[in-house]
Structure 1
Amino acid sequence: MYKIAFFDSKEYDINSFNSNTTEEFELKFFETKLTVDTAILAQGYDVVCVFVNDAINKDVIDMLVAQGVKLLALRCAGYNNVDLEYANGKLPVVRVPAYSPYAVAEHAMALLLTSIRRIHKAYIRTKDFNFSLNELTGFDLHGKTVGVVGTGKIGRIFINICRGFGMNVLAYDKFPAKDSDIKYVTLDEIWEKSDIISLHCPLTDETYHVINEESVEKMKKGVVILNTSRGALIDSKVLLDGIKKRKIGAACLDVYEEESNVFFNNFSGHIIEDDVLARLISFPNVIVTSHQAFLTREALANIATTTLGNVKQFFTENKCDNEVVYKPNN
């Protein structure tokens, strides 16, 4: 039997894993995130399963290894929250490389449409029986230029959605998709020519704060920025300043660089101490969702089956097709 301890577990995690498990797995769900203080809970488990905001640093890795944990299973695609260099040779890491790229790409478009057509504002108005159309004027997507940064599975699906709206697509990727009809340009051209910019790239040393003061300065006045990837791709203070100066026309964010202590929790009765996030949310041209782009029935089922499959393959074959192998440039 494979004993797995889940951290940062929510109701939808518990339901999806319990619905897709078999008798060979013993699952234990902890609501708390994995930290140095909570790693002791992994005592007696073969596998620790974590999500995007669990911090797997050197101290946590040492504690897990000392307690006999043999595998770290990420139930997500990104692994920027894991110290892979330190884990190398000590604690194998596996992930879910693709659970539902459609879910994330569709959410990005949903955010964009909601923002530019003021759907969120219209919804609130009509709930109060206010049917005025004042200040609800949007703009057509047809004919607009969208710059897509990152053309992996999610990025390419988002490009197809944009083409369906009759948009002109420019793209940037360090490793362009082969044999595609995607028009690749430099990052500077993305900044300078795009009416809308959507981020679909992983967080690495190279992409950290890829949207910064210098890049915003090159952008069109009124540009709309979408981020459904990782929060730290955007310098949040620069984003805030760009919106205040009317340089950035709107922002649609499903991620935020300091989200780990906020997202996935209910703070409706509390004061948010993150002044930047609180100010962003207060702007009428900013939409924030709490890292929910992945949250569809299909994606949750794929996450569960792939994660459990990763665990089984690792222990039966002493390898896993979805293992994250450390490389110096990771």
Structure 2
Amino acid sequence: MKILITESENFSPKAIAELQKHFEVIQHDFKSIEKLIENIAEVEVLFVRLRFKLTKEILQKATKLKYILTATTGLDHIDVPYFESCGGQVISLKGETDFLNSIPSTAEHTWALLLALLKRIPSSFNDVKLGNWNRDNFKGNNLSGKKIGILGLGRVGKQVANFAQAFGMKVGYFDTTSQINDHKKFSNPEEMFAWADVISIHIPYDEQNKYFVNQELLQNCKENAVLINTSRGNIWDEKFVGQLLQQNKISGIATDVLQDEFNAESLKTNPLIQLANKGYNSIITPHIAGATYESMAMTEEFVTAKFLSIITF
């Protein structure tokens, strides 16, 4: 059986060594989807990251493909229904709660975005690089005493809540299943959005949650509120978020994800990128919250072990 690792740069050597005990492992670091397509016809297993979106059209080229391994919880980079309809199996981190509790990278990145946004770090640094030293132009805000509303109190949401407590913030949340008695639980998200100074989004992406953070919900935001999204771009109404920012009906946004982020042409017209280029209070990173050396190695090794535990030799 042949396994193709599509983004092999800095891939876990331990995971590769384990796979090589049983399979022919082909390592590539493809930069274009065209090169990937040229190499998938003869492999039974793909081990992917997030550089490419595996659409139905691409998967149709992979006539021998039986398994897709992905060290992620979200699966919107794969046409899972089509692949499963062909008899394929996706092996991921979805539902692996006990293991995922040991992975801090997304929560850490969420907090980095929040601090950078409220402390005006990117814009002030850019100004200094231009030769200026305008202290009064970049006054920020304290976190202590602020209210943070966490949408989705799963693994990452709980980690973010712990950080918030350490910074002296008041923590509220909306979640349909989880509950922590130490924090303020809201019966509906509208009340939480109206209460919070900071809104941090951590619900998983699926069809049910698509555009969960919609225009109706967003209209409850305070004018001084900031929004943080390290979930998925299709969780919120990106265009309306941009309108609120442009109209000064929220004070800032920071996101690690965008709608249609796999499409280079779409990025050129993305409303949040356009507002960032115009100087609005925003920070956008290229879906790097989970991309730490440590976390990527741990997750690749876990998915490898999971695959080896179910494969029939």
Q: TM-score, normalised by structure 1?
A: 0.82
Give 2:54's aligned residue: 56
Q: 1:142 to 1:99 in 2, by over 3 A?
A: closer
C-alpha displacement of 1:312: 1.7
Greater Cα shift, 230-239 or 202-211:
202-211
Contact map agreement 2:72 2:92 (CA 8 A) in 1: yes
C-alpha displacement of 1:236: 1.4
Give the whole-Å Cα distance in 2 for the aligned partners of 1:201 and 1:163: 20
Give the whole-Å Cα distance in 2 for the aligned partners of 1:15 and 1:99: 23
Give the whole-Å Cα distance in 1 for the aligned partners of 2:261 and 2:252: 20
In percent, how many aligned pairs have the same letter? 25
Give 1:96's aligned residue: 93
RMSD, matched Cα: 2.6
C-alpha displacement of 1:219: 1.1
Give 1:183's aligned residue: 184
C-alpha displacement of 1:128: 4.3
1:315 aligns with 2:304: no
Q: 1:60 to 1:255 in 2, by over 3 A?
A: same
- Name stretches of at least 5 consecutive residues in structure 1 with no aligned partner: 318-330
Give the whole-Å Cα distance in 2 for the aligned partners of 1:310 and 1:109: 30
Give the whole-Å Cα distance in 1 for the aligned partners of 2:11 and 2:61: 28
1:84 aligns with 2:80: yes
Residues 5-36 of structure 1: per-residue CA shift (max 9 Å, x gap): 133x2xxx42223454213251322414668x
Residues 255-286 of structure 1: per-residue CA shift (max 9 Å, x gap): 11121124xxxx9xxx9632524313223301
Give 1:325's aligned residue: none
Give 2:43's aligned residue: 45
Give 1:17's aligned residue: 12
> Letter of the aligned partner of 1:257 in structure 2?
Q
Residues 45-73 of structure 1: per-residue CA shift (max 9 Å, x gap): 22112234533344444443xx2222111
Q: How many residues align?
A: 301
Contact map agreement 1:6 1:27 (CA 8 A) in 2: yes
Q: TM-score, normalised by structure 2?
A: 0.86
Give the whole-Å Cα distance in 2 for the aligned partners of 1:205 and 1:63: 26
Of 130, 133, 153, the residue aligned with 1:131 is: 133
Contact map agreement 2:47 2:70 (CA 8 A) in 1: yes
Q: 1:56 to 1:127 in 2, by over 3 A?
A: closer
Greater Cα shift, 160-169 or 123-132:
123-132
Contact map agreement 2:5 2:26 (CA 8 A) in 1: yes
Of 300, 303, 314, the residue aligned with 2:299 is: 303
Give the whole-Å Cα distance in 1 for the aligned partners of 2:207 and 2:104: 26
Q: Tell me the secondary structure at the aligned position of residue 172 of structure 2.
A: strand
Q: Tell me the secondary structure at the aligned position of residue 306 of structure 2.
A: helix
Give the whole-Å Cα distance in 2 for the aligned partners of 1:228 and 1:157: 13
Q: 1:70 to 1:275 in 2, by over 3 A?
A: closer
Written as runs of structure 1 = structure 2, the 5 A alignment for 1:1-330 is 3-7=2-6, 9=7, 13-18=8-13, 20-22=15-17, 23-24=20-21, 25=23, 26-32=25-31, 38-52=36-50, 54-64=52-62, 67-88=63-84, 90-97=87-94, 98=100, 101-177=103-179, 181-185=182-186, 186-262=188-264, 273-282=268-277, 283-316=279-312
- Name stretches of at least 5 consecutive residues in structure 2 with no aligned partner: 95-99
Give 2:97's aligned residue: none
C-alpha displacement of 1:129: 4.5
C-alpha displacement of 1:230: 0.5
Give the whole-Å Cα distance in 2 for the aligned partners of 1:314 and 1:40: 28
> Letter of the aligned partner of 2:307 in structure 1?
V
Give the whole-Å Cα distance in 1 for the aligned partners of 2:253 and 2:39: 39
